[in-house]
Structure 1
Amino acid sequence: MARIGFIGLGIMGSHMAANLVRAGHEVTGYDVVPASVDKLLQAGGKPAPDIASAVSGAEVIITMLPDSPQVAEVALGPGGVLESAAPGVLLADMSSIAPETSLAVAAAGAERGVRVLDAPVSGGEQGAIKASLSIMVGGAAEDFEAAKPIFEDLGRTIVHVGGHGAGQTVKAANQLMVAGIIALVSEAIVLLEASDVDGERGLEVLAGGLAGSRILDLKSASMLARQFEPGFRIDLHHKDMGIALSSARAAGVSLPVTGVVAQLVAAARATGHGSDDHSALLSVIESLSGRAS
């Protein structure tokens, strides 16, 4: 069992930290929201008043933060992870951020003798709760092997996908696919209901054929009910689509469908759905057809 410092106890991080406690690890956590730290305490973890305290004595440090600026501040800033961590510590950033930020953190970590992995996840809040996340990991192979037993307490599909930044590139690909499928499920619902076909029965058939997907399995009921309680917010998916398009530009490739879907996600955010689940894309598709619910 490991001594783990966990920074970022939001929708995903709170469940992940609790799972590590249940697995027998000693988890000390910090978040800027005091109520989030209280949740860790209730789960059996140890609260920390700041980043340096969370990192002190840790063998492994996990960060789970909203975006690149927060990761840069927490990892590289004064009183941050790299300033406070002992040489030889392993830092696994499990946030979804730009690959270039992961590269910068890895380079800074190497200068201080801190091993760094970028290890973003997929699976949403339910995956975090059930410890069934997919984890895509970039960094040195030996560091991945060292961290793998801890990742196994958080997820089921754990793959070393390449060097530093590679995990974030795979996560960008994941996010463009998820948003695209949600958009198509939304269009299917609009078509079915506009044609006086029962949406629930129609999606049941689709889920059993080649059109079946995890999105249909997990999201169809709430989408049909227009219940958009966030498991993964539009605001965060908007950020991720920007990363996907930026990564495509850096790689010199064209992602035309991703571009269109990114605009739909941006429209959802602009029309007040930023705090809703990403399945609220349905509201945008409905509005385009004059069928706003």
Structure 2
Amino acid sequence: MKIGFIGLGIMGGPMAANLVKAGHTVRGHDMSAAPVERLAALGGEAAAGVPDAVGGADLVITMLPDSPQVEEVAPLVVAHGRPGLLYLDMSTIRPETSRRVAREAAAAGVRALDAPVSGGERGAIDATLSIMVGGEREAFEAARPVLGSLGTTIVHVGPAGAGQTVKAANQLVVGGIYGLVAEAIVLLEASGVDPVAGLDVLAGGLAGSRILELKRHTMIRREFTPGFRIDLHHKDMGIAVAAAREAGVALPLTGQVAQLVAAARAQGHGSLDHSALLKVVERLNT
């Protein structure tokens, strides 16, 4: 397929590269020149702007930081896309924004899906992302072959906006687990127990998780090279809290996790990996 890809950052760059490897013609655009040049070096094409990336495409993907960026770019995708275009917004944004984008796209004959992802930079590189998709079933089935080049768990979860709601649930669970792993490390170390041995046991039992599998050793070593930054998780927790308010439900643990993430950002750790919640828990104990 001819694919326009807008947003070639930590996640979007490797995702676009995987689409090139899968044999698609990928025309990419980013606000920075370097990621566009990297894509071109891998066999992709450089677009001069959003209209250039969208023009002539069968499918367009946006992977942008937040709702305001999607609200700015989506109208350009709709305006310059051909009738029947598949538009996958794979950013993590507010559900109501995705619903509005879908309505406006449908009015112009564009099939829009919200398709946020989970799996971090490693998942983007390895094409093992989990992808939660909201929108029309027919559009989802049409997009599935392309999504198969990006992830291994690909699920249609409901109408427009549902993908973003599932992603909000994902982020509150991920944040909560990071916080609990951080507390486990602090407890083990304060008790004189080897945290490596302790977390190895936890990872093999009922407490096991993908986070323990991938991040326990780097957390113990206090290595917080970003795969997913605190700044972005802070944004996502705001989406989760807002979604809970819109649904009229109380999520007390989500509120606590949101405050923990906010504290990490306030303490200057926004550019670090979200596993740096450990630094906040340590500070509470010094």
TM-score of the superposed pair, with normalisation by structure 1: 0.97
Structure 2 equivalent of residue 61 of structure 1: 60
Write the distance in 1 (CA, Å) between the matches of 2:219 and 2:8: 27
User: Which amino acid in 2 is paired with 1:251?
Assistant: A
- The one of 163, 167, 172 equivalent to 1:167 is 163
Q: Which runs of 5+ in 1 are unaligned?
A: none
Which residue identity is paired with 2:150? L
- What letter matches 1:113 in structure 2? G
Matched residue, 1:197: 193
Deviation at 1:104, TM superposition (A): 0.9
1:82 Cα deviation from its structure 2 partner: 1.2
Query: Is 2:63 aligned against 1:30?
Result: no
2:47 aligned partner: 48
Specify the SS of the correspondent of 1:164: coil
Q: Distance in 1 between matches of 2:124 and 2:96?
A: 26
- How many residues align? The count is 286
Q: Distance in 2 between matches of 1:24 and 1:15?
A: 15
Of the three residues 180, 187, 195, the one matched with 1:184 is: 180
Q: Counterpart of 1:273 in 2: which secondary structure?
A: coil
- What is aligned with 2:14? 15
For the residues of structure 1 that align with 2:262 and 2:256, how far apart are their CA atoms?
10
Match of 1:112 in 2: 108
1:219 and 2:218 aligned: no
Q: In structure 2, what is the equivalent of residue 3 of structure 1?
A: 2
Aligned-pair RMSD on alpha carbons? 0.5
Residue 149 (1) aligns with residue 153 (2): no
Unaligned runs of 5+ in 2: none
Aligned twin of 1:289: 285
Aligned to 1:103: 99
Deviations 1:91-133 (A, max 9, x none): 0000000001101110110111100000000000000000000
TM-superposed CA distance for 1:54, in Å, is 0.4
1:69-108 aligned at under 5 Å gives the runs 69-76=68-75, 80-108=76-104
- Note the C-alpha offset of 1:43: 1.3
Matched, 1:138 2:134: yes
CA distance in 2, matches of 1:225, 1:38: 34
| SS class of match (1:125) | helix
Q: Give the Cα–Cα distance (whole angstroms) in 1 for the partners of residues 219 and 101 of structure 2.
A: 38
CA positional deviation for 1:11: 0.1
4+ aligned runs moved over 6 Å, structure 1: none
2:271 aligned with 1:272, yes or no?
Answer: no
2:170, 2:265 → 1: CA distance? 20
Q: TM-score, normalised by structure 2?
A: 0.99
1:247 pairs with one of 237, 243, 263: 243
